[in-house]
A = this chain, B = another copy of it.
Amino acid sequence: MELFFKARSVVVIGASRNPSKVGHVILKNLLESCFQGKLFAVNPHASSILNVACYVSVAHLPQKVDLAVIAVPVVEALRVVEDCGKKNIKHIIIVTAGFGELGNHDDEIRLQVLAKKYNLEVIGPNVLGTLDVYSGVDTLFLPRLRLNRPKPGGISFACQSGAVGSAMLDLMAKEGYGCAKFISYGNATIVDESDLVEYLGDDKETKVICLYVEGVKNGRRFFDVCKRVSRKKPIVFLKGGVTAAGGKAAISHTAALAGSVEVYKAAMLQAGVVWADNLEDLFDFARVLEKAKKPLGRKVQVITNGGGYGILSADAVELNKLVLTSLQSRTVDSLKKVLPPLVVVSNPMDLIGDATTERYRVAMDACLSDKQVDMLLVILLYQTPLITSDVVDVVKEAFTNTKKPLFVVSTGGEFTDVHKRNLEEFGIPCFSLPERAVKAMKILVDYYNKD
């Protein structure tokens, strides 16, 4: 499996001169990424494309390569797979669609036979491709203009749907979340979700595994693998096709049999997997599990410069069965001495609308030192006039000096987004709304208390 991500040589089979063709975009993305290995192309009608040497067929390649990406029409795909087998190319990504998802089950079976005969590892068919953010092995067939690649990080994402994957990658790039590996695995004819979870479980670059699955090939094995891997690192799981209507749609998408949601959910929770109800959950939970420190308990302190946000946060804490803590009296006393009389030294602690950066520093330091506080939720509304931009440095300092999880909530426009993204990229989980932050806190506590 490793060579899917760390290949030192890649061949794009079905490379094209036409910029709108998949076989062109993949070659271009590999050229534009940080990939340092050797690149080859197969196209019988060209000598070179984008300055990459083209060969008539796989058999004509001057060397064995680590990884082949197949982007030829479905009628040619299996012949090309056989060519790869003969050339001793063991890792193959089949982008080509038109297999089981369209009722073409014969070719699926032929592919299985070929894989067995030549001992091949195959991702696909019917996939968007793969991405290793660290090595630059980028076989996605979508152009970088439309789909930004995320920065390096610890979230890996195995996704049965290419579209879900691409939209989420693009979103991750925008929001500043870090990614390790992305795999669109489509029909899962050879390499399936269990293989991927197993591989990512051992992968050092992967801190959290995200899964979007429409149908599981082998339920028993998937359960066992998840159970084993979730002891090592968090797995966040979103199931597509949890209803009759969605399940029916899944069959024509990736030929997946969706199964009952109750059965899945019960089994997954038993296997120690974090269940996501929707795409928003999937990434909120993943980045919090990647970034946040381990909480010692469920006692939350809220600091805010907006009273209403404090109230909504307090509501969310209680609704999520966390505890709105009471600070030690000596913390309260010391804060009352240094904070202005209008500040409410309680929980939520309202630093009010004229809060300064210094007021945040004093309040965060005191709360993080208080042993009654397990987690800190900092509401930071950049609309108020006396907050200076270097409040982000003050938050980073507090974050660096504590072992407790710290979450930041900021809502607003461009001015807010600049600051929010800066904190997120530093490793602090940032949210737009208090309800989302508290829900993620709850997941964090549950994850570390599941045993």
- Measured CB to CB, the residues of A under 8 A from B are 20, 22, 25, 97-98, 102, 128, 141-143, 145-148, 159-168, 170-171, 173-174, 212, 214, 240-246, 248-250, 252-254, 277-280, 304-312, 314-319, 324, 342, 344, 346-348, 350, 352-353, 381-386, 410-417, 432-436
Quick one: closest B residue to A278, CB to CB?
B435
A163-B384, A243-B318, A246-B311 are known; give 13 further A-B pairs, CB within 8 A. A142-B383, A147-B383, A162-B308, A162-B353, A163-B304, A167-B381, A170-B415, A174-B412, A214-B308, A249-B311, A252-B350, A254-B307, A278-B312
B311 & A161 in contact (Cβ 8 Å cutoff): yes
Do A249 and B310 touch across chains, with their CB atoms under 8 A apart? Answer: yes
Known: A243-B318, A381-B163. A171 touches B412 (CB 8 A): yes
Are A411 and B25 also in contact (CB < 8 A) when A307-B249, A315-B245 are? no
Provide a sorted-by-A list of 5 A–B residue pairs whose CB atoms are within 8 angstroms.
A146-B384, A167-B411, A173-B413, A245-B324, A278-B312
CB <8 Å contact, B353 and A163: yes
3 tightest CB-CB pairs across the interface, nearest first? A163-B306, A161-B308, A253-B307
B309 near A161: Cβ-Cβ < 8 Å: yes
Chain B residue with the shortest CB-CB distance to A436: B280
**Are B278 and A240 closer than 8 Å at their CB atoms?**
no
Complex-state Cα separation, A128 to B305, whole angstroms: 13
Q: Which of the residues B253, B280, B307, B382 comes within 8 Å of A308, measured between beta carbons?
A: B253
Q: Which residue of B lies closest to A354 (CB)?
A: B22
Known contacts A248-B314, A279-B435; is-contact A167 B243 (Cβ 8 Å) = no
Residue of B with least CB distance to A300: B245
- Knowing A159-B308, A309-B161, the reply to whether A412 touches B170 (Cβ < 8 A) is yes
Give Cα A137 to B366, complex, Å. Answer: 41
Closest chain-B Cβ to A264's Cβ sits at a distance in Å of 12
CB A97 to nearest CB in B, in angstroms, measures 7
B residues less than 8 Å from A248 (CB atoms): 314
Q: How far is the CA of A146 from the CA of B311 in the complex (A)?
A: 23
Cβ-defined contact, A166 with B413, below 8 A: no
Using A142-B383, A253-B350, A385-B146 as known contacts, say yes or no to A174 and B314 having CB atoms under 8 A apart.
no
Query: Which of B97, B160, B312, B385 meets A20, CB within 8 Å?
Result: B385
Q: Would you call B433 and A280 a contact (CB within 8 A)?
A: yes
Q: How far is the CA of A305 from the CA of B312 in the complex (A)?
A: 37
